[in-house]
């Protein structure tokens, strides 16, 4: 902490803020000249980074601080603890689960037994395969459809306005689930893996984010390429796409999360258990509680159902949590908020 306790210099006190001469809010680069903060504040700033409290902003009253801290703590705990319990229990040994009465906060002797069991099970293994397939193929196709449409409508183009209206309408209405079911049936997609992919290929919201990003690309760039003889296809492939990696990543992740999470379409269109995605397995074995017997799993011996249930939850949860930091990275870059502000 020596770097903070350098030369004391005369300076406006933090609490003396009434005057406009108050120090401007300390940016990350502004090196503190004097540090009269208490010890806990220093530790705090070591962990969470320097406070960016604007000079005119008074410290909150203790009551308000406590209230805020409490709210933040409750929200954080309510999100983190359930996931922690589920993950821990899935790794816990059967003895520990029995002693703890079903749930474990920290596994004392972690074991992969539950995971070995579910990955041996043809049902779960297939379901993971189905979910992975619809996620990868669905996302690629959806990106193709969304990018082409968004690029076409990001320029003043023939039929552009009616087309845009036709897409905006999809944000407000839904055809209803029975007509959708009949349509999928009419296309002979019932009980095929494509019924989980094709209806979700185009989402109006993703289109709008993509289009507003494309519209932000300087017109001069595209026009000069056009003068140089580039066709619209070339411009899209060689100029627009390389400039749009961030938005493509974010929209791709949105689609991927949607496909991985798809449950309702499977419920509606799929009867054949061997085509169930992981969410359907999760529903029937964890929520509906049909016990995952050794028989159903196709193995001779199964660890206690509790840790198997938790392992299924973790399998459904893990890809989202793994992908999430990448998604998160772009929130801070403002891809989404930029689009929201229009």
Partner 1 sequence: MSQTMPATAAEEEAIALQTQGGSSPSRRGRKNRRGRDGRAPRRPKDSIGVRLRRDWQMLVLMIPGVLCLLLFFYIPILGNVIAFQDYQPYLKITEAPYMAMQNFIDLFDDSRFFLALKNTLILAVVQLLLFFPVPIVLALVVDSMVTPRLRRAFQSIVYLPHFLSWVLVIALFQQMLGGAGFINKFLLTHGMEAIPFMTNPSTFPLLIALENVWKDAGWGMIIFLAALASIDASLYESAAADGAGRFRRAWHITLPGMRPVIVLLLILNLGSILTVGFEQFILQRDAVGADASEVLDTYAYYTGVIGGDWSMGAAAGLAKGVVGTILVLLANKFAHMLGEDGIYRGSAR
Nearer CB in complex with partner 1: 8/224: 224
Nearer CB in complex with partner 1: 125/233: 233
Nearer CB in complex with partner 1: 6/51: 51
Q: How far is the CB of 188 from partner 1 (least distance, A)?
A: 13
Nearer CB in complex with partner 1: 275/339: 339
Q: Closest by alpha carbon to 132, among 248, 256, 250, 265?
A: 256
Nearer CB in complex with partner 1: 189/296: 189
Q: How far is the CB of 7 from partner 1 (least distance, A)?
A: 25
Q: How far is the CB of 143 from partner 1 (least distance, A)?
A: 11
**Residue 214 has which token pair?**
């494309």
CA distance 173 to 21: 55
Task: Provide φ and ψ at 150, rounded to 5°.
Answer: -65, -40
Nearer CB in complex with partner 1: 225/268: 268
Q: How far is the CB of 326 from partner 1 (least distance, A)?
A: 12
Nearer CB in complex with partner 1: 33/80: 80
DSSP 199-244: GGS--HHHHHHHHHHHHTS-HHHHHHHHHTT--HHHIIIIIIHHHT
Instruction: Let me know: does 154 contact 215? Beta carbons within 8 Å.
Output: yes
Q: How far is the CB of 300 from partner 1 (least distance, A)?
A: 26
Give the CA distances from residue 6 to residues 9, 18, 48, in Å, rounded to whole numbers and listed in that order: 9, 27, 21
Q: How far is the CB of 91 from partner 1 (least distance, A)?
A: 15
Q: How far is the CB of 222 from partner 1 (least distance, A)?
A: 12
Instruction: Let me know: does 181 contact 268? Beta carbons within 8 Å.
Output: yes
Nearer CB in complex with partner 1: 30/72: 72
CA distance 282 to 123: 11
CA distance 165 to 180: 21
**Residue 323 DSSP code:** H
Block residue for tokens 């760039």: 221
Q: Where are the alpha helices (DSSP H) in the chain?
A: 39-48, 62-91, 94-100, 113-120, 122-153, 160-172, 177-186, 204-215, 219-227, 232-234, 241-243, 245-260, 264-269, 278-282, 294-297, 305-333, 335-341
Q: How far is the CB of 87 from partner 1 (least distance, A)?
A: 11
Nearer CB in complex with partner 1: 3/172: 172
Q: How far is the CB of 261 from partner 1 (least distance, A)?
A: 3
């Amino acid at each position: 902490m020596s770097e903070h306790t350098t030369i004391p210099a005369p300076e406006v006190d933090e609490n003396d803020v009434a005057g406009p001469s108050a120090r401007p809010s300390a940016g990350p680069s502004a090196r503190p000249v004097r540090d009269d903060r208490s010890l806990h504040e220093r530790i705090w700033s070591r962990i969470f980074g320097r406070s960016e409290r604007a000079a005119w902003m008074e410290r909150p009253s203790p009551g308000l601080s406590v209230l805020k801290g409490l709210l933040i703590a409750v929200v954080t705990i309510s999100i983190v603890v359930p996931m922690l319990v589920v993950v821990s229990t899935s790794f816990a040994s059967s003895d520990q689960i029995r002693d703890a009465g079903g749930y474990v906060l920290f596994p004392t002797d972690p074991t992969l037994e539950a995971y070995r069991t579910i990955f041996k099970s043809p049902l779960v293994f297939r379901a993971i395969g189905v979910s992975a397939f619809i996620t990868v193929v669905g996302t690629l196709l959806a990106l193709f459809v969304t990018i082409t449409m968004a690029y076409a409508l990001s320029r003043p183009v023939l039929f552009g306005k009616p087309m845009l209206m036709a897409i905006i309408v999809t944000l407000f209405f839904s055809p209803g689930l029975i007509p959708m079911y009949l349509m999928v049936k009419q296309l002979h997609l019932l009980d095929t893996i494509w019924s989980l992919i094709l209806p979700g290929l185009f989402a109006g919201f993703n289109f709008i984010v993509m289009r507003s990003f494309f519209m932000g690309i300087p017109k001069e760039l595209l026009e000069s390429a056009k003068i140089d003889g580039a066709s619209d296809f070339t411009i899209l492939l060689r100029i627009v796409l390389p400039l749009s990696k961030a938005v493509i990543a974010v929209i791709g992740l949105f689609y991927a999360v949607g496909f991985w999470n798809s449950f309702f379409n499977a419920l509606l269109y799929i009867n054949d258990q061997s085509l169930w995605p992981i969410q359907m397995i999760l529903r029937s074995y964890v929520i509906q509680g049909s016990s995952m017997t050794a028989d159903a799993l196709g193995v001779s011996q199964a660890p206690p159902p509790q840790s198997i249930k938790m392992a299924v939850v973790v399998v459904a949860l893990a890809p989202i949590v793994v992908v999430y930091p990448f998604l998160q990275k772009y929130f801070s870059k403002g891809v989404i908020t930029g689009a929201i502000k229009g």
